[in-house]
Structure 1
Amino acid sequence: MAEMMPLLLFITLFAMLMFGFPVAFTLGGVSLIFGYFTFGMDFFNLLPLRIWGVMTNYVMIAVPLFVFMGVMLEKSGLAEELLETMALLFGRVRGGLAISVVVVGALLAASTGIVGATVVTMGLLSLPTMIKRGYSPEVATGTICSAGTLGQIIPPSIVLVLLGSILGVSIGDMFMGAVLPGFMLVGLYFIWIMTVALFRPKAAPAMPAEELAGFTGWAMIARLLRAFLPPFALILCVLGSIFKGIASPTEAAAVGAFGATFLTAVQGKFKYKTLLAVMKETTALTSMVFTILVGATAFGLVFRGMDGDVYLRELIVGSNLSPYTFLAVVMLVVFIAGFFIDFIEITFIIVPVVAPIFQHMGIDLLWIGILLAMNLQTSFLTPPFGFALFFLKGVAPSNVTTAHIYKGIIPFIIIQLVALTIVILFPEMVTWLPGVMTAN
């Protein structure tokens, strides 16, 4: 019977999530009930100490700071300037508008890491323009959704901070390990867009020549500098300070928050009303993350107290699964879970359970962390509950349907799975840069 308790805990939790109960309170509530009936009142003596230990983790301060940075940049108007400039820069080639959306998505990912803000901003600014220019709704919506989710894998990323904390891996190493896989994904998006433009030119046309007539010479250079320099300076300050060992990820997040505020002021958008809105949104997002973290901490305490991790490890070892087979099973479970629940929930429910087993098998947890981050990125795109799809539908013109968005995202989900497979086959893509930076 004791061996069935961890399984019953999981079944109860997922059943309540499927019925639509709030994740944070479901995690905590189910854990409290099972903890009481399993350990009695002693459970309530252990839980506060465990929660206190997690909530006083210095690394976790980076979460609200990176969120603040992302939300503040959204208000600065830099995204709008970037999108308009990139559209002009790539407008002469077929598929140029779509390529510009991916470039801006990558730059915003490296500046903010906030998926919702990026998708909504690009949806409002780019989608009507792309449809007006004759783009297929499927190509336009798929490109915007997938480019918006690059903030999940290109650092600084909230999910990399959370995964690093859970796996016990340096956040700086997580950021460095994600650089090559992230930009490989951008390259694969480019290849797909150019392929569509080559074989289906009407689905991704070039911009009319008369609209590009004034974008030449010094005027073009001046606009490019005005659009590129602010976000590049912020990226350099945040990631450069981490990679060079000048600042910890938490300190770099503080630099980023200040830098985003400074850039907003330079753009003339910094007002009391703006600051209030940014602080409210930051508080709401951070509270959600940390409330789920508290529930996940209670869940982890109960699961380990029931020896659930021991039973699971014995099951894996007893079934003689090779490390790669177990990795494939975990990746499949995470991918399927992404159809139904959010990446934060998956991170706090599944990752703490499987991490000790990967460690027992001698697998590099840095590599596992990046694989999980890439896999979790698909949770924003997979129907029926892909958040990027909801974000875009909320701001899309009335002639763009949900069916257009669902069809458009399928090629990009396949591309993400191809990228995940490449990183599985070539772990050096993750480990090379951290190794070089450590050696230097």
Structure 2
Amino acid sequence: MVTSPGLDRTTELREVTGAVGHLAGICFKTGPPTLTGVELEWTVHDAADPARPVDRARLRAALGPHSPGTLDDTSPARPLRNGSTVTVEPGGQVEVSTAPRSSVAALISATEADIDELSALLGRAGLVLGRTGIDPWRAPRPVVDTPRYRAMRCVFDRHGPAGRTMMYSTAGLQVCLDVGEPAGFADRWAAVHAVGPPLVAAFATADRHAGRRTGWASARMAAWLHIDPARTRPVWSPYRPDQDPVAAWTEYVLAAPLLCVRHDGPDWTPPPGVTFADWIDGALPRPPTTDDLEYHVSTLFPPVRPRGYLEVRYLDAQPGQRWTVPLAVLAALLHRERTVRAALAVAAPVADRWHTAARYGLADPPLATAAGALLDLAREALPGLDLPTGTHEEIDSGIRQRIAAAERGHR
């Protein structure tokens, strides 16, 4: 891997080569794939009336010392007991981000304990966590307002209403996986993208929004797909399967329009159409720094985002404890190189069907076939995760349920 010697977070970028080196150094950290993390996001509802709006003050009171600074700038923002940090998204969605763990079993155990703690905090305030990838009852409505979120809303509004839906109504499950060893990284990178459409279909939970059926299996994924392709399309493409991952990501980052330009004022909205490459070339009054580059990366939302690890962003939030099933499926599929290659071979014919997966889910026969085969592969590889017997059995049962759903879709 290319590194970025001598570049700290305040280095000014006046040449593209400096940005290229910095991106390679921070976004692709290869090595043995030993760590797994997860980020779980939920809509939050009044326990007695799930269609009732939940405001910022009520969330702040419920979360107390765990409130993030976006809710309370005096909060200590304490992690939950097992280390998960709590954040609140612009529509009032609550998210926990775990510390990475060296085993999936340890990750599940720690995360379940933190979810229980979070649920208890919310429960005492008469609130409950949602169970789907998009708010089934309420229309999009802002709850948290910051310069970043105002700029996002302004830029997304240029493309239509999907941005507000994403910001204020959606909830996802993110799985964070190590990049892996250099020799197998290209296959791992391709596979984690290629399995996306069939896994979107297999785990879609977002068919109702704002009190009605949407016509989409995953209206959450539909919202992402309709925001701005320059910042939400997949980085890897089956039409350019051999493109170097670092080169593909660098091209993507530099060509993406700016979403926010930070400064001391309240309005961070950038001029329309200015890309990060344009900024390096002098499009704005001051040159960007490496810190600006890292912040720009945080405003890009492809289905898989490299952040030193691989952040898998394409899954809907799951009801209750069922989040463990897609987590284990992804971990199992990427656990061994031979399984990675097998998964890539299965998924390659449907690797471009993101829109179809969001629209039809397992009702699309090619996706149902691929999903069933991938889930079978995951079941075969599941023992390699060394899960406790009870956890293994629960996840195996969840996978078998999804296989049965895929078989119904195939028919």
Q: State TM-score, norm by structure 1.
A: 0.28
- Higher percent of residues as helix: 1
User: Based on CA coordinates, which of the two structures has the bigger radius of gyration?
Assistant: 1
Larger RCO (CA within 8 A; separation ≥ 6): 1
- Higher percent of residues as strand: 2
